[in-house]
Amino acid sequence: GRRRFLLEARGDSMTGAGIEEGDLLVVEENPAPPNGSVVAALILDREEATVKVLRREGEKVRLLARNGAHEDIVVPAERVAVQGTVEWVIRRVRSRRY
C-alpha cells in the first residue's frame, strides 16, 4: 500500500472540515488525488506546507480554506507539490477531570 506520515495541524483555516489547531493528521502519500480531496501540499517557492481542499483549474491550482476568515491560495500548478490526502484526524483529549 501507500506510505503514510503524520502532520500536526497549525492555524484554523480548515475548521469547517473538522481540522483544528494541534490535531494530528494521518496523510496517505498520493501525488495526484482527485479534486475535492483534503490534501497536504507544498507551495514550492514559499517553503511552506499547507492543508487545504484541492481544486485544479487548468494551469492553476486552487487550495481552498474551510474557514471564511481565510483566503484561498491560487498558484500555478507547477508551484504546488501535493504530498498526499488527509485520511485521519487525531485529536488529543484535553485534560478533563471527571
41 contacts 63 by C-beta, under 8 angstroms: yes
Cβ contact 39:84 at 8 Å: yes
Q: 95 catalytic, yes or no? A: no
Task: Catalytic residue, from 13, 37, 60, 95: name it.
Answer: 13
Beta carbons of 59 and 80 less than 8 angstroms apart:
no
Residues with a known catalytic role: 13, 52
